[in-house]
Structure formats: C-alpha cells, structure tokens
C-alpha cells in the first residue's frame, strides 16, 4: 500500500535539490588578477630593457595572480612627476633612480648617488638591506608623507666623468665649464667651480651639440653611445667620484601594495633581488663591448680621469656633506649610518681583496 505524500516535505526536498543543482551548475566567478601600471623613466635603450627584465621576473613568478604592465617614459606623466603620480595612485608603480626626486629632499640622493666612502654600489645595497638603509628610507617616506613602498636593485658601475670638448688633464680645467649631471653630484661640481645644468637623458646630446653645455655625463658607455655622444665629443673620461655608486628604485603605491596577498608582495621584493644579479652580469658585458666600439669604430679617445680631479671631487664632497648635515639632522643621520657600515665592511674587503688589476696586467698587459 502506497504511503500518502507529505506535500510540505515534498516541496522542501524539491527546493533543496533545486538549490543544490543550481549551485553545481553555476559558473565559478573568477576574480581578475591585479594589473599594476609601472611607468619607467626610460624611453628606450638598455635601462628600459632592465626595467622590462624586472617586470618579466615578477610576471613569470606570479603567473595568473599578478601582472605588471611596463610603460615607457612620459606615457602618463613626465619623469619629474612620477613619484607624485605613484603617491596619488595615478600610477601604480615607477622605475627610476632616487636622484630623480632629489628636489623633494637631498637625502634621496644618498640612496645611490651620495659620497663615496670607499665603497661601490654593491656595498651601498648591502647597507640598504643589512645596515639599516631600508629602515632609514622608510623613515624618510614617513617624514615626507609619501604613500610609497620601494625596492632597490641593479648595482651600477661607477659612472664616467663623461664627455668633454678637450681632454681634461687637471682639476683646474673644469672651472667654469657648463656641465650636465643630477642629484647631489650637482652640488659637488658646483663646489668645484663648474656651472651645472640638470637635463633628462634625451636632451643631453642636443644640448652639447648646440653649445648649451660644454661637457656631460649620463651613466655608461652603452647609453652614451645610444645617445650619440660620440658625435659631439671625442674625449670620454672614465672613473669619477661624482656618482660612483647608483642603482634603480622600483617604487609602488603603498595602498595598492598593502592590498596584495603576502606572497605577491614577496614576489615584488624577491624579483628585485634576482634582477640585482642579472643587471650586473648583463650590463657589465654590454658596457665593455660598447666601450670597445666607441674606441675602435667611432674613434673616441678613452681616458681615465686624472687623480687630481678625483681628489678635488672628494674635497668638494666633504664640504657639501658638512653643509647639508649642519642644516638637516636627518641627512646627518643617514650619513653617519653609511659611514659606520662602510668603515666596517670596507675594512674587511680592502684587507681581503687581492689587487685584481695586478692579475689583469699579468695576463693582458
């Protein structure tokens, strides 16, 4: 004998079944991966390649969870406006050097283009990561009220003194020359009696060609060759203390950075560390190759800067650091931290490192 159907139980069961079927059949909602817009300070050349290399590392490690889209110079804002644009969220990120926002605070230039305490870019990055530099940078961001998180990478070799109309044989020849540089280096060379003009990279060669400036530096043989500096000068001086250590800054809007999952934040950081090594291996070879081309193919006179010029630079640095430390306690705080790190680390390295030039000359003359 059939049992009578309980209508209320039947309707309840049917509703539950329908709900289950609907849940199983509904398409999963996939949240789109965040895309960060990063503008570079470079319109082309090897530095834009370096920026792309960092972006490629992030994208490869993050997979479908995060993407960075790299934009070339002036895509959204001018280079001088990039930091403010990231702070306000107009840009998500930027790839440049700290000296480019030197006008906000001279302390910015200490993160890459400060005085040389006998160290190279590698050791300055060591100070950033293990000597308290990152904490001081974060403090600077707080003092300036900037909504930014930054990672530093790519230890650049010392920048050449640059291109001159005639060979420089002594410091006295630099007096009165109109010269292009950026950051604290401008203060140092002004101290040496030069007239300094701060220009973006793409304007250097035309300015020298027109006579607006007498001499200039940008960064390295590859970029200088790309700019065509060999067409306006045949005297290229390598070695200098005006910018003997520098590196890139990858800066992110802090609000957007904080919204990322911890593992994605880690990828942004560790991709920077990975690019640190790649830059040095990749760029050093390119610079070496292009220096030979400048000499052999473009007829450039490659000269090592005289010691008298570099000694005068160190004396000028002393005056600039003393003056700025006296007027800015935080500047002095960063300098003291750098000196303590350099004194300790370079003591070990100077005692331990053999004279590599001695070995080079043994084999190559």
The Cα 142–Cα 40 span in angstroms is: 24
What is the pLDDT confidence band of residue 30, given thresholds at 50, 70 and 90? Answer: low
Tell the burial category of 337 from Cβ atoms under 10 Å away from its Cβ (0-12, 13-18, 19+). Answer: middle
Q: How many CB atoms lie within 10 A of CB 300?
A: 21
Report pLDDT digits (tens) over 195-239: 998 887 788 889 999 999 999 998 999 999 999 999 999 999 999
pLDDT above 90 (res 183) = no
Please identify which residue in the block is written with the tokens 């000269």: 303
pTM comes to 0.88
Q: How many CB atoms lie within 10 A of CB 61?
A: 17
The Cα 348–Cα 287 span in angstroms is: 29
Q: What is the mean pLDDT of residues 146-171?
A: 95
CB of 174 closer than 8 Å to CB of 194 = yes
The Cα 85–Cα 95 span in angstroms is: 12
Q: What is the mean pLDDT of residues 13-37?
A: 58
Q: What is the mean pLDDT of residues 8-25?
A: 45
Task: Write down the pLDDT at residue 28.
Answer: 54
Rounded percentage of the chain residues whose pLDDT exceeds 70: 92
Task: Write down the pLDDT at residue 29.
Answer: 55
The better pLDDT of the pair 326, 33 is held by: 326
The Cα 156–Cα 180 span in angstroms is: 19
Query: What is the residue-wise DSSP string for 287-314?
Result: HHHHHHHHHHTS--EEEEPPHHHHHHHH
Contacts of 65 (CB under 8 A, 6+ apart): 33, 261, 263, 264
CB of 70 closer than 8 Å to CB of 52 = yes
The Cα 21–Cα 33 span in angstroms is: 29
Beta bridge partners of residue 237, listed in sequence order: 162, 303
Most confidently modeled range among 7-11, 68-72, 198-202? 68-72
Q: Which domains does the chain have, with CATH numbers?
A: 35-155+245-285 (3.40.190.170), 162-244+299-351 (3.40.190.10)
Residue 5 has phi, psi (to 5 degrees) of -80, 130
Sheet containing 301-304, strands listed edge to edge, beginning at the edge strand earlier in sequence? 195-197, 178-180, 215-216, 162-164, 235-238, 301-304
């Amino acid at each position: 004998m059939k049992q009578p159907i309980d209508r209320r139980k039947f309707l309840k069961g049917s509703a539950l079944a329908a709900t289950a079927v609907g849940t199983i059949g509904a398409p999963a909602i996939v949240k789109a991966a965040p895309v960060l817009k990063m503008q570079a300070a470079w319109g082309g050349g090897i530095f834009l390649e370096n920026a792309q290399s960092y972006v490629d590392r992030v994208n490869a490690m993050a997979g479908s969870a995060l993407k960075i889209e790299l934009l070339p110079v002036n895509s959204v804002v001018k280079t001088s406006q990039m930091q403010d644009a990231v702070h306000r969220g107009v840009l998500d990120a930027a790839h440049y050097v700290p000296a480019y926002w030197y006008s906000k605070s001279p302390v910015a230039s200490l993160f890459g283009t400060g005085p040389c305490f006998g160290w190279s870019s590698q050791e300055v990055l060591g100070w950033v990561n293990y000597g308290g530099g990152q904490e001081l940078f974060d403090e600077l961001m707080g003092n300036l009220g900037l909504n930014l998180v930054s990672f530093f990478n790519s230890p650049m070799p010392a920048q050449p003194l640059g291109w001159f109309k005639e060979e420089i044989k002594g410091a006295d020849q630099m007096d009165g020359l109109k010269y292009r540089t950026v950051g604290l280096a401008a203060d140092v060379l002004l101290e040496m009696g030069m007239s300094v003009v701060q220009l973006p990279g793409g304007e250097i060669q035309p300015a020298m060609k027109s006579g607006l400036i007498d001499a200039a530096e940008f960064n390295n043989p590859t970029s200088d060759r790309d700019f065509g500096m060999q067409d306006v000068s045949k005297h290229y001086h390598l070695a200098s203390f005006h910018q003997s250590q520098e590196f890139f800054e990858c800066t992110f809007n802090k609000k957007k950075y904080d919204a990322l999952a911890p593992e994605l934040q880690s990828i942004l950081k560790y991709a920077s560390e990975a690019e640190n090594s790649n830059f040095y291996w990749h760029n050093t070879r390119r610079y070496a190759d292009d220096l030979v081309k400048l000499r052999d193919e473009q007829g450039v006179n490659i000269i090592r800067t005289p010691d008298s010029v570099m000694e005068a630079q160190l004396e000028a640095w002393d005056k600039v650091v003393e003056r700025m430390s006296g007027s800015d306690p935080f500047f002095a705080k960063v300098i003291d931290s750098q000196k303590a790190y350099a004194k300790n680390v370079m003591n070990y390295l100077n005692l331990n490192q053999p004279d590599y030039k001695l070995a080079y000359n043994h084999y190559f003359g």
